[in-house]
Amino acid sequence: MLKLLSSSPIHRLNPAAVPVLRPAAESASPLHRVINSLTAFSRSNRCLGGRVFFCSDSSDGSDHVVDAEVKSAEEIPSKSSAIVSTYPKPEDYLTVLALPLQHRPLFPGFYMPIFVKDPKVLAALQESRERQAPYAGAFLLKDEPDSDPNIVSSSDTEKNVYDLKGKDLFNRLHEVGTLAQISSIQGDQVILIGHRRLRITEMDKAYNKEDEVIKATSFEVISTLRDVLKTSSLWRDHVQTYSKHIGDFTYARLADFGAAISGANKLQCQQVLEELDVYKRLKLTLELVKKEIEISKIQESIAKAIEEKISGEQRRYLLNEQLKAIKKELGLETDDKTALTGKFRERIEPKREKCPAHVLQVIDEELTKLQLLEASSSEFSVTRNYLDWLTALPWGEYSDENFDVTRAQKILDEDHYGLTDVKERILEFIAVGKLRGTSQGKIICLSGPPGVGKTSIGRSIARALNRKFFRFSVGGLADVAEIKGHRRTYIGAMPGKMVQCLKNVGTANPLVLIDEIDKLGRGHAGDPASALLELLDPEQNANFLDHYLDVPIDLSKVKYLIIWEVLFVCTANVVEMIPNPLLDRMEVVAIAGYIADEKMHIARDYLEKTTREACGIKQEQVEVTDAALLALIENYCRESGVRNLQKHIEKIYRKIALQLVRQVETIDATIEQNKGEVDSDETGTTTIQKGNPVLIESSNPEHTDENSKEVDEVETNPPENQSQCVDNKSTDMEVTKEREEDKKIETKTIEKVLVDKSNLDDFVGKPVFHAERIYDQTPTGVVMGLAWTAMGGSTLYIETTLVEEGDGKGALHITGQLGDVMKESAQIAHTVARAILLEKEPENPFFANTKVHLHVPAGATPKDGPSAGCTMTTSLLSLALKKPVKKDLAMTGEVTLTGKILPIGGVKEKTIAARRSEVKTIIFPSANKRDFDELAPNVKEGLDVHFVDDYMQIFDLAFGDEKSHNTQN
């Protein structure tokens, strides 16, 4: 009897439990005799398979008979493998151990290692080897009914196997397994070699080797396997190993081999193993290897797509590396790190004596670091860029300064007209530098309205000093890193504007223009105004530290040191918008703007000349009169600067260019039509060459076009092959023929374009501004004031009128879109006017019984400022006294409740506005006399200016005798 014994679990990669079939004691039972007879029959008849019976004892004591089958002896090749001993034969040992396999079945011809943990099972296997019966049956363990065959959880499976005992475990085995040779036992590891199928109930079915269908199927399997084997060298090794140990391929072995090397799951492989019909087995194997082909094709297409995607970059990279290697081998080029190091050393070597010691130390350390870094690392790029900036800066390299005051005066006069006070301050700066031998590290702030030439003045200063010029605007700047630089650890880090400036100009003493400093922004990235303090403060910029360079840079003017002798010039429109700590570091030079006379000179000497050359127009082709320019300045370009004036002049010359081109095209067309003809008469003619208009005065003024003015004669030098001869004594004109005979030149006259006040509208449109002076003689209750505006300055009328009268109805109504300051000024003026009227005319109850309306014209324009109090008081008194003020009088100043006159601003702008309105008498506060004295003589010329500190002085000037003056020019 054979007993089925339960066993302990095995390793996770192998069967979890091994049921053991052990031989019983010898007996003379009928079953034993049947087995012996079958064995003898199988030995004598090799062509037949033998049916054997394994008897097992169940746990409950009942006997169960299990059929086991072995293949016929013909399936064993005549020359067996050396591993499988030829004697004894496997069929001689019909009593073997049954070993369960958990993951995959064992196919004939393949190895499989398993781990057996049960010492009883190991002892039985070892005993079988010692008894020269080294065989066991390997059967795949069935899955649980509810489990998914595609999902394997080894821990759960092993746990279930632990609980199986006896009959329950035996029932979990598949019916078909493999007769396996026990090749070796090392510890708990057992190596099995599959030999043939083993079925519990049936024998292998016979098949006809000459069957055409089987042959065709086997050929298709072989063909498909050939394609599969091409994709992997591992599968080719399987073929060699299989043929070496098993022998030649048969149809059955071909099916086994194909199923074994396929990637099918365990149930599909078990299905092939259980199939005893060779033809059906071949069909199942063919399906599996066909799937392998499809999987290989999909894998190949994926690999090809990926390869195509990266092959271009890889090929380029490989070619570049090969090129580098070839150049290096030929000595044409060193590697990247050596070349970079050599470049940086070559760049810093000429500056080594002038470069500060601490900078040289940093450069040497970074060069050493560069050699140790891999070229592909991110730190390598950071270090390379850092060295590039450090070695590119102009350490100790200066441009030779020129302190020639006369030359500087000439340059400033060439570039700018007027601005005497600004030029004087610049010349003072240059003179001090000449005496000291070096320029001061001062910060000059040029303030003034737009278009007055602040930026161009900075460029002229650089040219006068022979310094390099660099400009950067900080308008709207809200990031401190733009000034102080970024930390090198950030991606895309760069130094600040100051370091970039030094690299761009290539000298250590440039003139840096910081434009629009009054428009600094402030955002989440810090306060740039505070960052500029270190840059502009002479006490701090000696050790200016850029975050990127991380080495101190001296931007001050220190002699005998390696320094950056940077001269800073700042520009601003409104000084009040500059933060006070920053403004404290600067020396403000105000540029008030230009008066009409200065604009005339600038237009003639600079703007018109530049625009004419830019448009390609010759001087003799156009004439712009002084009246036209003056009208352009007064009616179109009244602002303080000249930028808008330049735009209008460019507009005029563009239209002139269009007119000239149209005239030339008309003349060319006429010449083409009348080519070969010449006109001659008693009046004489004017000749012009085609396509090249020149002006020649007609010999008979009576025949000149009435709509065009006479023009000066312009002599021309015709080519050598053309000549013209005019005989004034004769009525006939002889014309020398050209080299081409029978061709004559059409004669025409081109008109010179004239721009005058009368036709200015045709070029620039309707006037933008109108005369600010509304009245020749201001009526009662109206007084002309002077105001400062962004346009430079203007006259401003204050009007008052009576609304209604009655006892106790005294009140003041204000209009004109006034700000809070001017509203307060109006209330103060009303109080002061009542006090003065009470003093001058005690019997006059005007303000007590009259509602007064005070208005400032141009109600759509917001107005505010502390300089209208005097004008408002005078307007109210004029209405109360019913007496107009003096003719051609304008005033400005703030009045207090006690009648004191306070100083105002914008003296130059207000003076220019008064001159523009042809005002002869101006009243200023006494505190502004110094400001007026600093004005240019041409601004003060022809004005009768009075300076007052008490309102009663204004009262006498406005309403008293014309000869009464307290102070005068």
Angle separating helix axes 643-673 and 608-615, nearest 10 degrees: 40
At residue 99, φ and ψ (nearest 5 deg) are -110, 125
Which of 540, 533, 546, 613 has the alpha carbon at shortest distance from 580? 533
Please pick, among 867, 875, 878, 908, the residue that the annotation labels catalytic. 867
- Please confirm, yes or no, whether 910 is among the known catalytic residues: yes
Q: Annotation-wise, does 453 bind a ligand?
A: yes
Q: Annotation-wise, does 350 bind a ligand?
A: no
Query: Is the backbone of residue 396 left (phi > 0), alpha (psi -120 to 50) or beta?
Result: left
How far is it, in rounded angstroms, from Cα 563 to Cα 553? 7
Contacts of residue 459, defined as CB under 8 A and 6 or more positions apart, other chains included, come to 415, 469, 471, 513
Contacts of residue 394, defined as CB under 8 A and 6 or more positions apart, other chains included, come to 351, 502, 503, 505, 506, 507, 508
CA distances to 5, 71, 251, 536 from 206, rounded to whole Å, are 34, 10, 12, 106
How far is it, in rounded angstroms, from Cα 1 to Cα 893? 135
Dihedral sign (CA 252, 257, 262, 266)? positive
DSSP string for residues in 182-224: EEEEETTEEEEEEEEEEESS-PPPP--TT-HHHHHHHHHHHHH
Q: How many residues are there in the chain?
A: 969
Identity of residue 221: V
What b/e sequence results for 55-70 when a residue is b if at least 16 CB atoms lie within 10 Å of its CB, and e otherwise?
Answer: bbbeeeeeeeebebbb
Angle separating helix axes 212-230 and 251-261, nearest 10 degrees: 30
- Please confirm, yes or no, whether 867 is among the known catalytic residues: yes
Q: Annotation-wise, does 187 bind a ligand?
A: no
Three-state secondary structure of 287-355:
HHHHHHHHHHHHHHHHHHHHHHHHHHHHHHHHHHHHHHHHHHHHCCCCCHHHHHHHHHHHHHHHHCCCC
Identity of residue 396: G
Dihedral sign (CA 479, 484, 485, 487)? negative
Q: Annotation-wise, does 452 bind a ligand?
A: yes
Q: Annotation-wise, does 450 bind a ligand?
A: yes
What b/e sequence results for 662-698 when a residue is b if at least 16 CB atoms lie within 10 Å of its CB, and e otherwise?
Answer: ebbeebbeebeeeeeeeeeeeebbbbbebeebebbeb
How far is it, in rounded angstroms, from Cα 457 to Cα 701? 50
CA distances to 33, 140, 668, 718, 743 from 675, rounded to whole Å, are 140, 113, 10, 18, 6
CA angle 691/696/701 to nearest 5° reads 135
Extract the tokens encoding 278.
Answer: 């060779």
At residue 236, φ and ψ (nearest 5 deg) are -65, -35
Contacts of residue 391, defined as CB under 8 A and 6 or more positions apart, other chains included, come to 344, 347, 348, 363
How far is it, in rounded angstroms, from Cα 637 to Cα 639? 6
Cis peptide before 581 (omega within 30 of 0): no
Longest dimension (CA), the chain: 169
Under DSSP, the state recorded for 142 is P
Q: Annotation-wise, does 451 bind a ligand?
A: yes
Instruction: Tell me the catalytic residues.
Output: 867, 910
**Which parts are annotated binding residues?**
448-455
**Which parts are annotated binding residues for ATP?**
448-455
